[in-house]
Structure 1
Amino acid sequence: MTTTAATEPSANTAGMEIFRFASAPTLDETGHMEVADLNEDMQAGIGGALEAGFAEGNVVKTLFSRPGFSLTYAWFKSGFPLPLHTHNADCLYYIVAGTLQLGTEKLGKGDGFFIGKDKAYRYTPGPEGVEVLEFRSEENFDIKFLAKTLPAWAKITDVIKERRPAWATEAPPSSAQ
């Protein structure tokens, strides 16, 4: 089943589909990403991060999906503590607006990066946040967090608590262009 966001039947012909950002479902609503390999500490840590405001630091929408392909939009607000993680699908990232730090590299609008299947990574959004498009080689994929202990999740939760007040008034970096 395709969960393509806002497909317009009147505009569909064989080999063509239209999608719209305004009516795109969240990644959670589509169920395309499964959290895998959780232990009890991770479940408790994720619960604490959610209570602290984890969901307020990001917006993730599935723009288009079909078997063998997906396109996701993600806006991570300034300093969002994206945990070290992997996915079981290749992913190509394109930065629409804002900046991020990936290892020693600072990337900005028009830059991108490729992360292969099962490669561990994380990045940190810059002071204005970052908006990315994520092109994946699968419609359904997993996320495996590598922060497996309560102290690791406590650090993530501390950053959320510190950044949350600023997130309340942040706008996507593309709105400033």
Structure 2
Amino acid sequence: MEEVKKEIAATSDEQDYRREGQMFFLGSWVQGEIRDLRNEIRELRKEMAEKETGLRQEINTGISLLRQEIKTVENNLRQEMKTENNNLRHEMKTENNNLRQEIAALRQETKSLENNLRQEIAALHQEMKTENNNLRQETKSLENNLRQEIAALAHGIKSLFWATIGIAVATLAVTISVAIKVWR
């Protein structure tokens, strides 16, 4: 047992040495790996910085191009808007002038129609006055003619009346004279 204990002790001492050696080896290997990783990280950072710089330049270039394109499109749109606005203003002025001319023509036509209607109304009024005067004169003339005819008829009736009375008186005188002769 003692031997076993010695062997175990020897083995445990050996294992301690081995463990320490392994730890030393592991420590230097880990440190080497860490150095390598740090170097790789530095290289990766450099690459990333270069790529980042390149990407930033590309982004800035893209942004500049987009800004220029936007400005160009904006300027073109402004120019188109100005042109369209000027065209619309010109069209509106032309339309406005045309409408004013039409309104002036309509006013002139309305005045002409109004004057023609006034002249027609005045002519009709004058014609009505003339017709009314003619009718009055005809009525007066007919009235005078009727009065003259009535007066003539009245005179004729009076003459007939007096003639009838004269004839009756003459007939009475003849009858009386015949009766006197017969009686005698």
| Shared fold (TM-score, shorter chain, > 0.5) | no
Q: TM-score scaled to structure 2, two decimals? A: 0.13
Structure (1 or 2) with the greater strand fraction: 1
Structure (1 or 2) with the greater helix fraction: 2
Q: TM-score scaled to structure 1, two decimals? A: 0.13
User: Who wins on radius of gyration, i.e. which is larger?
Assistant: 2
